[in-house]
A and B are shown apart, each in its own frame.
Chain A
Amino acid sequence: MQIDELIENFELLEDWEDKYRYLIDLGAKLPPLPQELQSEEWKVSGCQSQVWLVPEVVMENGQKLLDFKGSSDAAIVKGIVAVVLSIFAHKTPAEIKEIAVENIFAKLGLSEHLSPSRRNGLSAMTDKIRYYAEVL
């Protein structure tokens, strides 16, 4: 799903309960991450639950783009992973650097719903994505 579409969908949801239910739903609909990728190598540290992010480089018209697969063993965080994957899907390293994730989460109406530890998880995820954008 495109991030704009996600923002629209979230705008329709009024309270935290609906937003959480939708988040959990988004997480549940993520394509399953193969067991062998749920490994230490792809684990994002700094999250309370286990989170994995796996980068993939695609070349298009001589331009380098990044895509990510990911998952979590916790349902709400898995929904957050789904949102993060939409935000960073198919972007160039330069674009990845520019994206203001916090703002997008504010637009989704999720920032006030994110507890400090989850926010840490979110920033650990975006740090990892930015790291991959730099080194790959």
Chain B
Amino acid sequence: MYDIEQIRRDFPILSVSINGHPNTFLDTAASAQKPQCVIDAVSQTYANSYANVHRGAYYLSEEMTVKYEQARAKVRKFLNAASEHEIVFTRNATEALNLVAYSWGRKFLKPGDEVLISQAEHHANLIPWQILRDEIGIKLQIFKIADDGSYVADEFLGLLSEKTKLVSVTAMSNVLGTVFPIADMVKAAHRVGALFMVDACQYAAHRKIDVQDWDCDFLAFSGHKTYGPSGIGVLYGKMSLLEQMPPYQVGGDMVDTVSYDHTTYALPPARFEAGTPAMVDAIGLGVALDYLQNLGWDNLCAHEEELIAYTNAKLQEIPGLKIIGTAADKGGVFSFDLNGIHAQDVAFILDKEGVAVRTGHHCAEPLIKRMGYTSLARASLGLYTSHQDIDRFVNALQKTQSFF
């Protein structure tokens, strides 16, 4: 049972009025709103149990350390990782992707090696590999997607070879919504001896992840997109890989012994968490993941699936509206072109009606170009999105058309 009205009441910001209208927040793919329990966890931690972690031999520091590590345990459970030691806290998914490129990439990639990504990647899963290409002389291979945004197995398999050392692909596109068949892709990558990194930024907020089932080697997601605080993200890595990787940043809290001559580094995950971490945000993330899972994946997925179908049907009724990205398996992401009206004009008018959509290149400029645009408007759904939100969105789109 999924009581949408009850759920919406958990998110205080949804009752804030925007330009005199109800808050129709359709930008969850950029960052999700926070339930009261997350807001409370963050403020209560500061109010009642704040101190630095892993340092002080005193009550508050101990308590904070326990809570921080409990948050790690919650992330382990959320991903079904084999061990908590495989969960590295980062600032966001971008940092997790950069960490792998910097630490694993610089150590293990040699000139001529290939990294394979899709055409649908966010800049965060493109630029780190471009830098390795320019610095190390690896080859960056990019497999094509279909015009409707679908995954094309032959395109992927066609570029996968013995030279491929790493495949790094988004599980759900932030522009097209396309869901990639990660489990199959991982199997194919492993057959040629390549590792597989999943950018689960979008996927993590919408569908259940099981890293052991996928058998992926690395995975990244951001707390702020999974209804948790900003400033916290996660890198999952198989222990056998993390162990071999050098630190990404160095400083306090990540060393074993230090002398002026030599430093030995702590085991993962501490090795990759130099300096004081975003510990309060990590605690908030743990609460957010509990909240998400307590809704029940089946309930959540059923709600979102139904709403996606509803949105699709409603949008298709609007003459002149074209949805960009219509793969059969897609998440609640609707990039669209409305009668060729500039995305920014659309967004300005929607905003006046209290409807929030994102515009621009969505940090995926080559993908937007590939789809034939320079800028797109995008509406994205979340666990709190209601039919009324979609109705208000559609009305606002019709109003927008009346201006042109």
Which residues on A are within 8 Å of B, measured CB to CB? 16-17, 20-21, 24, 48-50, 73-77, 115, 118
Contact = CB atoms under 8 A, between A and B. Distances in A.
Interface in B38-52: none
Interface string B323-364: 000000000000000000110110011011000000110000
Contacts of B58: none
A49 B347 CA distance: 12
Contacts of A24: 345, 403-404
Chain B binding surface SS class: mixed
B375 interface: yes
Interface residues of B, number: 14
Given A74-B345, A75-B342, A16 B360 contact: no
B348 A76 contact: yes
B351 A115 contact: yes
B351 A75 contact: no
19 contacts: A16-B352, A17-B352, A20-B348, A20-B349, A20-B403, A24-B403, A48-B360, A48-B375, A49-B375, A73-B374, A75-B342, A75-B345, A75-B403, A76-B344, A76-B345, A76-B348, A115-B348, A115-B351, A118-B348
Interface of B: 341-342, 344-345, 348-349, 351-352, 359-360, 374-375, 403-404
Q: Which 3 A-B pairs have the closest CB atoms?
A: A74-B342, A74-B344, A49-B344
Contacts of A76: 344-345, 348
Contacts of B342: 49, 73-75
B349 A75 contact: no
Chain A binding surface SS class: helix
B403 A77 contact: no
A16 B353 CA distance: 11
Nearest to A49: B344
B393 to A, nearest CB: 18
Given A74-B345, A76-B344, A77-B344, A21 B403 contact: yes
Contacts of B352: 16-17, 20
A75 B360 contact: no
Given A24-B403, A49-B344, A118-B348, 12 more contacts: A16-B352, A17-B352, A17-B403, A20-B349, A49-B342, A50-B374, A75-B341, A75-B342, A75-B403, A76-B345, A77-B345, A115-B351
Contacts of A21: 403
Contacts of A73: 342, 374
A98 B202 CA distance: 49
A63 B403 CA distance: 42
A94 B352 CA distance: 37
A21 B403 CA distance: 6
Contacts of A16: 352
A21 B401 CA distance: 12
B404 A75 contact: yes
A88 B344 CA distance: 25
B25 to A, nearest CB: 16
Q: Which of A20, A50, A75 has the most CB of B within 10 A?
A: A75
A15 B352 CA distance: 11
Contacts of A74: 342, 344-345
Nearest to A47: B344
A62 B8 CA distance: 67
B343 to A, nearest CB: 8
Q: Which of B348, B351, B359, B404 has the most CB of A within 10 A?
A: B348
A24 B345 CA distance: 10
Nearest to B341: A75
A79 to B, nearest CB: 10
A70 B345 CA distance: 18
